[in-house]
């Protein structure tokens, strides 16, 4: 009997452990950060109203952008309270999806969304159409045209820009000094990158001249897109139905990475490195330079590093361009949207207007080197004294591109980064790697 | 009469709460996993989902990114590596500790068990630093003996081995614990008899100690096997299954499909496949266990 019992327990142990280890994804959402909803009560009601806002977690640990304005706004709206519930990146996406699916009972009125989620959230009817609000919003003309267009889906406004980040090339000034290069002058062209990398390789042993993220993550494609766009290429065709990143421009952009590796200026170890890790390595002097996100440039500086020390350590410039190419970069960032399920849409819009107001956002943008999405912000560099490279960010904002806002974007980028990885690793030629990736993307786009 | 009914019902009443919990948190997720594996469920669409038959299994098995045989190979290599490594290291350490006086043995055992109680993520990040191509301890040691640096986690030839080493370090503790407990029950007379007969240490270990602790070795092997098969946190912290899926195990594949791609159906299909493999291993284990049990009787 005991033996049988032990055998039975063993079976349960093996099978149960296997399932427990792999099954929780379908259960995990239940443990996402929770927020109680008050969205079921109409705004006009005399009863207390709770506006549920789901921002990113880090925005709640600092005063701007939410804390001071929320108190002021609540004071101006008696009977209305704002409940702020933060979450990290992936859980933020998951909880919004799960709320829409009804798998968690919490229903937010306002969500903070990465700009790459806009298409998916709109197609899934998570986000409410904001055209009627935009129609009477005087401040809309202040939003930079490229940014204003990027909150649209099928011609309709679906969100309001919150804050942005932009890709610039950053370099370590100490490494440049040791290599005999001008520490105040970054490479303006791809040829300059190669020349500077050669100097670093020759004169600064132990330092990898160039870094770029090449791990299996969104940052890999995000940092590659500027090189793609500057060749005149694009990710998808204008109707967003076919991949075009495998054209001559796309191949040129990937070949740039391959050449860096083949010449010994970059290491295949980058295949395991995410953008933040590469950025940290430029700060520490392990890498000489990289295309980084400004917004995670100064704000991600090591603990205790002042803005002055940052300026003394790191240089930043608009992305270097190839011969015959046009200046281009990629912007990303965060928007605020009102959920279709919200029963307090007017209040939600009012709150969004208060939070995203240009004057209210400036201290946040200055402190965390975010790029203003408003023309009045960009026009007044004196308010952004903390960011020594505000001028470069402003230049970059004028040539910023955004990835396509389609529901399948988050699914298709895995094929693109895999293509880049295969080319960098030498598994396939640049053309074959991108063609394979494009075929996979086209198959995905064609799937209903 | 009432007293008899209460007496009969009491065990069942006591069992109700755990049985309900067991159903809710163990059986129901299993059943849901099986159900989702034949549906088109996604993270944003979990109710009223269409039945898609074996489409999820076909998609997983014919996937090119990554090819499923590759995932299976990585899972097998990682699990076998972990099993063998943990078993050997844990057993050797237990035998070594067995030669130490009892007082010191307990203290040393506690020290050797430290890696086992550290969270997998912490161990993962620690080993990731050790394998860092520029500043890592592994390459520093290689350079000290004149060997060129190795790209431990990005090179296809070394990445799985590097993960296995880290996982063995993380998991040998449980083997050590089980074997140490079994060694404490080996009759000293048998060992003494061997020593009196002049048998060398290796022969005493091979002929007396190891046969005496075979059931414990079998149990430790089971635990190490399950540990290897289910490892997620350590691999995720070190490589996230990359680069180019070359360290993608089935546990990571399930996570990638479910949590990152949002395809609950395909993630569940991977889970069902893993479940089936686990079941086969369980059957093999039971056969071995019964064979062993017959020897005891």
* B-contacting residues in A 19-78 (Cβ below 8 Å): 19-29
Residue A8 has a pLDDT of: 52
Going by pLDDT thresholds of 50, 70 and 90, the confidence category of residue A28 is very low
Residue A46 has a pLDDT of: 53
Nearest to A197 by CA among A263, A124, A120: A263
When pLDDT is averaged across residues A363-392 and rounded to a whole number, the result is: 77
Closest approach of chain B CAs to the CA of A75, in angstroms? Answer: 36
Q: Mean pLDDT over all residues of chain B?
A: 90
Q: In this predicted model, what pLDDT tens digit does every residue of A270-279 receive, in sequence order?
A: 998 888 888 8
Best of A7, A8, A16, A25 to mutate (most B CBs within 10 Å, chain B): A25
Give dist(CA A25, CA A103) in Å, integer.
13
Taking CB atoms and an 8 Å limit, are B222 and A14 in contact across chains? yes
Q: In this predicted model, what pLDDT tens digit does every residue of A220-233 receive, in sequence order?
A: 999 999 999 999 99
Q: What is the number of residues in chain B? A: 297
Closest approach of chain A CAs to the CA of B168, in angstroms? Answer: 18
User: Could you give the 3-state DSSP secondary structure of residue A320?
Assistant: coil
Going by pLDDT thresholds of 50, 70 and 90, the confidence category of residue A19 is very low
| Nearest CB partner across the interface for A25, out of B134, B231, B259 | B259
* B-contacting residues in A 99-118 (Cβ below 8 Å): 100-103
Best of A2, A9, A26 to mutate (most B CBs within 10 Å, chain B): A26
Residue B8: is it exposed, middle or buried by C-beta count within 10 angstroms (0-12/13-18/19+)? exposed
Give dist(CA A175, CA A203) in Å, integer.
9
Q: In this predicted model, what pLDDT tens digit does every residue of A139-167 receive, in sequence order?
A: 888 888 888 888 998 889 999 999 888 89
Contacts of B239 in chain A (CB under 8 A): 272
* B-contacting residues in A 239-298 (Cβ below 8 Å): 267-272, 286
Q: CB distance from B21 to chain A under 8 Å? A: no
When pLDDT is averaged across residues A170-198 and rounded to a whole number, the result is: 96
Residue A163 has a pLDDT of: 86
Measured distance between the N- and C-terminal CA atoms of chain A, rounded to whole angstroms: 55
Backbone angles phi, psi at B222, to 5 degrees: -60, -45
Taking CB atoms and an 8 Å limit, are B226 and A425 in contact across chains? no
Give dist(CA A441, CA A74) in Å, integer.
46
Contacts of A98 in chain B (CB under 8 A): 43-44, 46
In CATH terms, the fold of domain B56-119+151-296 is: MetI-like fold (1.10.3720)
Q: In this predicted model, what pLDDT tens digit does every residue of A51-63 receive, in sequence order?
A: 999 999 988 877 7
Q: Is the pLDDT of residue B31 over 60?
A: yes
Closest approach of chain B CAs to the CA of A339, in angstroms? Answer: 14
Q: Which of A264-268, A364-368, A398-402 has the lowest mean pLDDT?
A: A364-368
Going by pLDDT thresholds of 50, 70 and 90, the confidence category of residue A39 is very low
Nearest to A160 by CA among A125, A201, A129: A129
Closest approach of chain A CAs to the CA of B67, in angstroms? Answer: 13
Closest approach of chain B CAs to the CA of A423, in angstroms? Answer: 11
Taking CB atoms and an 8 Å limit, are A26 and B258 in contact across chains? yes
Give dist(CA A2, CA B218) in Å, integer.
17
Residue A300 has a pLDDT of: 61
When pLDDT is averaged across residues B199-209 and rounded to a whole number, the result is: 90
Both structure tokens of B202: 């290796």
Closest approach of chain A CAs to the CA of B106, in angstroms? Answer: 28
Q: Is the pLDDT of residue B209 over 70?
A: yes
Our measurement of the distance from residue A104's CA atom to the centroid of its chain's CA atoms, rounded to an integer in Å, reads 26
Q: CB distance from A447 to chain B under 8 Å? A: no
Q: Is the pLDDT of residue A378 over 90?
A: no
% of chain A residues with pLDDT over 90: 52
Q: Which of A318-322, A334-338, A420-424, B192-196 has the lowest mean pLDDT?
A: B192-196
Long-range interactions of B23-26: CB distance < 8 A, separation 24+: B26/A16, B26/A20
Residue A165 has a pLDDT of: 85
C-beta neighbour count of A106 within 10 angstroms: 18
Q: Is the pLDDT of residue B279 over 90?
A: no
Query: Closest chain A residue to B255 measured between Cα atoms?
Result: A25
A164-191: b or e for each residue (b if 16 or more CB lie within 10 Å)?
Answer: bbbbbbbbbbbbbebbebebeebbeebe
When pLDDT is averaged across residues A316-330 and rounded to a whole number, the result is: 94
Q: Is the pLDDT of residue A296 over 50?
A: no
Residue A322 has a pLDDT of: 96
User: Could you give the 3-state DSSP secondary structure of residue A236?
Assistant: strand
Contact B97, B108 (CB under 8 A): yes
**CB within 8 Å of A261: residues ≥ 6 apart:** A267, A268, A270, A424
* A-contacting residues in B 91-130 (Cβ below 8 Å): none
* B-contacting residues in A 390-419 (Cβ below 8 Å): 410-411, 414-415, 418
When pLDDT is averaged across residues B44-72 and rounded to a whole number, the result is: 89
According to DSSP, residue B205 is labeled: I
Closest approach of chain A CAs to the CA of B167, in angstroms? Answer: 16
Q: Is the pLDDT of residue A210 over 70?
A: yes
Residue A369 has a pLDDT of: 64
Q: Write down the domain spans for chain B.
A: 56-119+151-296
Contacts of B155 in chain A (CB under 8 A): 268
When pLDDT is averaged across residues B252-278 and rounded to a whole number, the result is: 91
Query: Closest chain A residue to B279 measured between Cα atoms?
Result: A15
Give dist(CA A99, CA A370) in Å, integer.
29
Q: Mean pLDDT over all residues of chain A?
A: 85
Going by pLDDT thresholds of 50, 70 and 90, the confidence category of residue A410 is confident
| Nearest CB partner across the interface for B244, out of A101, A102, A422 | A422
Q: CB distance from B275 to chain A under 8 Å? A: yes
Taking CB atoms and an 8 Å limit, are B243 and A103 in contact across chains? no
Going by pLDDT thresholds of 50, 70 and 90, the confidence category of residue A376 is confident
Going by pLDDT thresholds of 50, 70 and 90, the confidence category of residue A294 is low
Q: How many CA atoms lie within 13 A of B15 on its CB side?
A: 5
**CB within 8 Å of B190: residues ≥ 6 apart:** B208, B212
Contact B139, B78 (CB under 8 A): no
Going by pLDDT thresholds of 50, 70 and 90, the confidence category of residue A391 is confident
Q: Based on C-alpha coordinates, what's the Rg of chain B?
A: 24
Taking CB atoms and an 8 Å limit, are B47 and A102 in contact across chains? yes
Give dist(CA A107, CA A51) in Å, integer.
10
When pLDDT is averaged across residues B131-160 and rounded to a whole number, the result is: 87
Q: In this predicted model, what pLDDT tens digit does every residue of B75-128 receive, in sequence order?
A: 999 999 999 999 999 999 999 998 888 888 889 999 999 999 999 999 999 999
Give dist(CA A369, CA A363) in Å, integer.
10
Give dist(CA A177, CA A314) in Å, integer.
12
- Which ipTM score applies to this complex? 0.71
Q: Is the pLDDT of residue B195 over 80?
A: yes
Nearest to B254 by CA among B243, B241, B237: B241
| Nearest CB partner across the interface for B240, out of A100, A102, A215 | A215
Longest C-alpha distance within chain A, in Å? 82
% of chain B residues with pLDDT over 90: 54
% of chain B residues with pLDDT over 70: 99
CA angle A27, A33, A39 (to 5 degrees): 105
Give dist(CA A311, CA A315) in Å, integer.
7
Give dist(CA A263, CA A7) in Å, integer.
59
């Amino acid at each position: 009997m005991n033996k049988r019992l032990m055998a039975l327990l063993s079976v349960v142990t093996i099978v149960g452990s296997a399932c427990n280890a792999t099954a929780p994804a379908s259960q995990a959402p239940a443990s996402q950060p929770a927020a109680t909803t008050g969205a079921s009560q109409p705004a006009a009601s005399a009863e207390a109203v709770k506006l549920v806002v789901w921002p990113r977690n880090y925005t709640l640990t600092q005063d701007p952008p939410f804390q001071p304005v929320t108190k002021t706004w609540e004071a101006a709206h008696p009977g209305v309270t704002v409940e702020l519930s933060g979450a990290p990146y992936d859980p933020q996406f998951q909880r919004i999806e799960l709320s829409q699916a009804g798998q968690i009972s919490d229903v937010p009125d306002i969500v903070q969304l990465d700009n790459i989620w806009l298409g998916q959230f709109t197609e899934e009817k998570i986000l409410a159409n904001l055209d009627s609000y935009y129609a009477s919003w005087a401040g809309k003309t202040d939003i930079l045209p490229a940014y204003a267009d990027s909150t649209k889906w099928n011609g309709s406004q679906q969100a309001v820009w919150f804050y942005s980040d932009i890709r610039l090339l950053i370099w370590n000034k100490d490494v440049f000094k040791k290599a005999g290069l001008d520490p105040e002058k970054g490479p303006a062209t791809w040829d300059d990158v190669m020349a500077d990398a050669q100097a670093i390789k020759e004169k600064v042993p132990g330092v990898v001249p160039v870094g770029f993220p090449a791990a299996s993550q969104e940052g890999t494609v995000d940092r590659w897109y500027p090189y793609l766009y500057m060749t005149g290429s694009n990710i998808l065709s204008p109707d967003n139905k076919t991949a075009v990143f495998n054209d001559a421009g796309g191949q040129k952009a990937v070949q740039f990475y391959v050449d860096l590796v083949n010449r010994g200026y970059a290491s295949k170890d980058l295949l395991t490195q995410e953008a933040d890790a590469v950025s940290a390595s430029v700060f520490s002097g392990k890498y000489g330079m990289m295309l980084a996100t400004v917004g995670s440039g100064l704000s991600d500086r090591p603990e205790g590093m002042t803005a002055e020390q940052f300026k003394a350590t790191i240089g930043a410039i608009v992305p270097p361009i190839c011969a015959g190419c046009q200046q281009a970069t990629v912007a990303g960032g965060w928007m605020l949207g009102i959920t279709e399920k919200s029963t307090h849409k007017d209040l939600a819009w009012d709150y969004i207007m208060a939070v995203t107001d240009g004057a209210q956002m400036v201290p946040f943008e200055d402190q965390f080197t975010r790029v203003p999405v408003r023309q009045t912000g960009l026009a007044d560099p004196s308010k952004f004294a903390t960011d020594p490279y505000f001028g470069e960010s402003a230049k970059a904002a004028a040539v910023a591109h955004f990835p396509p806002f389609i529901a399948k974007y988050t699914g298709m980028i895995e094929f693109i980064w895999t293509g880049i990885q295969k080319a960098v690793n030498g598994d396939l030629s640049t053309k074959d790697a991108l063609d394979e990736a494009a075929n996979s993307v086209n198959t995905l786009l064609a799937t209903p | 009469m009432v007293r008899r009914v209460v007496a009969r019902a009491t065990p069942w009443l006591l069992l109700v709460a755990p049985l309900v919990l067991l159903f809710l948190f163990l059986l129901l997720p299993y059943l849901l996993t099986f159900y989702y594996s034949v549906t088109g469920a996604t993270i944003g669409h979990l109710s009223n989902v269409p039945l898609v038959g074996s489409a999820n299994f076909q998609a997983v098995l014919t996937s090119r990114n990554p090819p499923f045989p590759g995932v299976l190979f990585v899972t097998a290599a990682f699990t076998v590596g972990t099993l063998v490594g943990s078993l050997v290291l844990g057993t050797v350490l237990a035998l070594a500790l067995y030669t130490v006086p009892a007082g010191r043995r307990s203290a040393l055992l506690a020290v050797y068990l430290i890696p086992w109680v550290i969270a997998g993520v912490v161990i993962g990040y620690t080993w990731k630093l050790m394998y860092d191509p520029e500043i890592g301890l592994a390459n520093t040691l290689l350079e000290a003996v004149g060997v060129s640096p190795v790209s431990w986690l990005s090179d296809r030839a070394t990445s799985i081995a590097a993960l296995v080493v880290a996982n063995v370090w993380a998991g040998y503790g449980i083997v050590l614990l089980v074997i140490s407990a079994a060694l404490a029950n080996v009759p000293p007379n048998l060992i003494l008899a061997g020593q009196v007969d002049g048998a060398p240490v290796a022969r005493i270990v091979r002929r007396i100690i190891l046969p005496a602790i075979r059931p414990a070795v079998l149990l430790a092997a089971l635990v190490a096997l399950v540990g290897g098969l289910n490892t997620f946190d350590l691999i995720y912290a070190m490589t996230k299954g990359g680069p180019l899926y070359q360290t993608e195990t089935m546990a990571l594949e399930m996570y990638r499909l479910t949590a990152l791609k949002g395809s609950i159906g395909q993630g569940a299909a991977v889970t069902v496949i893993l479940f089936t493999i686990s079941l086969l291993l369980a059957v093999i284990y039971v056969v071995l266990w019964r064979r062993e049990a017959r020897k005891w009787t």
